[in-house]
Structure 1
Amino acid sequence: MNPSIEKLKNLLAGPDLLTMPCCFDGLSARLVEQAGFPLTFMSGFAVSAARLARPDTGLISYGEMLDQGRAILEAVGIPVIGDGDTGYGNVANVRRTVEGYARAGFAGIMIEDQVAPKRCGHTRGKAVVERAEACARIRAAVQTRDSGAGILVMARTDARATEGFAEALWRMQAFADLGADILFLEAPQDEAEMERFCNSVPGPKMANMLEEGVTPILPPARLAELGYSIAAYPLTLLATAVYAMRVALADLAAGRTPERRVDFGTLRDIVGFDAHDDWLASFDRR
């Protein structure tokens, strides 16, 4: 059994809200870990942006996401939850996706109920599949988990934006009844909806704190009071990295060396140069 799965279970069983910055590559994941956060999430939006420079509209493939995930998992020891989108096809594809993410070493996987190709949850043009298909996806994921994959299943609905809040609640309850480990109602529109969701459906729940998104950004203490177990920050690292790179590029274009940067020694330390060189030197001494 992947030890990260037990770590994630223990974190979810604890009393504290889990603050979860989301990553997009090995370096961002390592920075999350070095900053002391107990877990991270591989964001589909962020991976699509960083790897392809394309929008989160179903353009990135299962194979590309899995490849990016392997690089992330090799870089850190904290539990990583992977964005599995719609499962990349029918229920057989959902099973393969869950199995693949589990073999790669993910502690959890998110499966959602959007029509494929899916879209970022805070953009226009979304659609969700019928109840039966939505439930079938989660049933397939849970059965795969219970058949030996072990990976935790996060079940997501985007029905709030298209079918209304009542339908989104129905789907969350249905996914809970099917055995999902974590529940994610995407894009509630106000604090009252967030509170009603937490009070209506059992089990750990995740809040998606996307800056300038549909859902209000609430302090961690308030999210904990409402009943959330995880606060995800899906694009905070990507957005701040883009901002910093643009500032640096503007400095270079103006003939200046950017001043706001980590030093070369810090970069070497983050990626493990000294440890690598010490290991090589140990062979020279033999």
Structure 2
Amino acid sequence: MFSKIKSKDKASKLREKLNAKGVIVMPGCFDSLSAKLIEKEGLDVGFMSGFCVSSTRLGMPDTGLISFSEMVDQVRNICNSTSIPIIFDGDTGYGNSVNVFRTVRGYADAGAAGVMIEDQKWPKKCGHTKGKDVVDLDEAKSRIKAAVDARNYGDNDILIMARTDAIATRGLDDAINRMKIFSEIGADILFIEAVKSKDDMKRIIKEVPGHHMINLIEDGDTPLLEINELEQIGYKIAVMPLTLMSASVKTMQECLKNMKNKVYNTNVTKFSELRDIVGFNEYYKIEDKYK
């Protein structure tokens, strides 16, 4: 119910996973319950998407409307209830490079194993939607430099994922160039968003050494290749950031239709299992200890 694992240990676990053989399948969570389900299923690493948090916490689109304080609060709640390493969306860092520094330290102090910092202009947009653009290279470099410096500041460790959305407005050549520079600055994980084809994937891996992540969104811009094929291409992380939230929405819609038609929902989690998932059994043990 309460995590005993420190952020430094979670970051160390994440580094071990990156350096081990095989691709990391990384589900996306959006709250403590979805994160706990990932851990209970035996998956080793998770990812918290800003799209999901903005959708579930605010009921609003991922268009820069959610704040640093709301995001870091979600980071803390998730990390307090899970022991697996989780990478969290830090958007653009919520301001200038000093804000990036604060965001990275705030996420590390909240228990994050990793944080993603991107090069979009503010207000940022979901990577698979229209209207996004990136800042110039110097500003983008400054953000990643601040993030890398913040990684090495203080007692809590954290990994840095550098993301570029340059494909959308400046093309693949610019995106690859940015990723090379981010890697040289010291980013731990590299992420070019919204890759359009298998050939582009192969070129990215060939031209930019390092641990690469590919973003897999159902009905998104990137083709959903088989995970084994992505591993063969050379990707280290296959993230599915929206799948759990999308599945939840579909199931809730179906349940609500049944309710509207005065029909009970039978295809749901048993109440006894639900109690166990959210931590009632562990709570009772702690309660008994202090009676």
In the superposition, the TM-score normalised over structure 1's length comes to 0.98
Post-superposition CA distance 1:127-177 (Å, at most 9, x none): 100000001100110111123353100000000011001000000101001
Residue 230 (structure 1) aligned with residue 246 (structure 2): no
- Report the secondary structure of 1:162's partner residue: helix
Note the residue ranges of structure 2 that are not aligned, 5 or more in a row: 1-6
Q: Pick the aligned partner of 1:14 from 20, 26, 42.
A: 20
Residue 248 (structure 1) aligned with residue 278 (structure 2): no
Residue 65 (structure 1) aligned with residue 68 (structure 2): no
Q: Pick the aligned partner of 1:213 from 220, 226, 248.
A: 220
CA distance in 2, matches of 1:283, 1:184: 48
Q: Pick the aligned partner of 2:100 from 94, 116, 119.
A: 94
Q: Pick the aligned partner of 1:198 from 205, 212, 223.
A: 205
- Report the secondary structure of 2:153's partner residue: helix
Superposition CA RMSD, Å: 0.9
CA distance in 1, matches of 2:16, 2:79: 19
Q: Name 2:45's counterpart in structure 1.
A: 39
**How far 1:74 moved relative to its partner?**
1.1
Aligned positions of 1:121-140 closer than 5 A: 121-140=127-146
Q: Name 1:111's counterpart in structure 2.
A: 117
AA at the equivalent of 1:62: F
In the superposition, the TM-score normalised over structure 2's length comes to 0.96
CA distance in 2, matches of 1:61, 1:217: 31
**How far 1:181 moved relative to its partner?**
0.2
Q: Name 2:286's counterpart in structure 1.
A: 279
CA distance in 2, matches of 1:154, 1:278: 39
Note the residue ranges of structure 1 that are not aligned, 5 or more in a row: none
CA distance in 2, matches of 1:230, 1:278: 37
- Report the secondary structure of 1:216's partner residue: coil
- Report the secondary structure of 1:249's partner residue: helix
- Report the secondary structure of 1:98's partner residue: helix
- Report the secondary structure of 1:247's partner residue: helix
CA distance in 1, matches of 2:205, 2:273: 42
AA at the equivalent of 2:15: K
**How far 1:278 moved relative to its partner?**
2.5
CA distance in 2, matches of 1:173, 1:277: 52
**How far 1:275 moved relative to its partner?**
1.8
Q: Name 1:4's counterpart in structure 2.
A: 10
Range 274-283 or range 172-181, more displaced: 274-283
AA at the equivalent of 1:261: V
Q: Pick the aligned partner of 1:81 from 72, 87, 94.
A: 87
Residue 30 (structure 1) aligned with residue 36 (structure 2): yes
AA at the equivalent of 1:23: C
**How far 1:4 moved relative to its partner?**
0.2
CA distance in 1, matches of 2:290, 2:109: 32
Q: Pick the aligned partner of 1:175 from 172, 175, 182.
A: 182
What is the number of residues matched between the two proteins?
284
**How far 1:202 moved relative to its partner?**
1.0
CA distance in 1, matches of 2:92, 2:246: 25
Residue 163 (structure 1) aligned with residue 176 (structure 2): no
AA at the equivalent of 2:30: F
Runs of 4 or more consecutive aligned structure 1 residues displaced over 6 Å after TM superposition: none
Residue 55 (structure 1) aligned with residue 39 (structure 2): no
- Report the secondary structure of 2:211's partner residue: coil
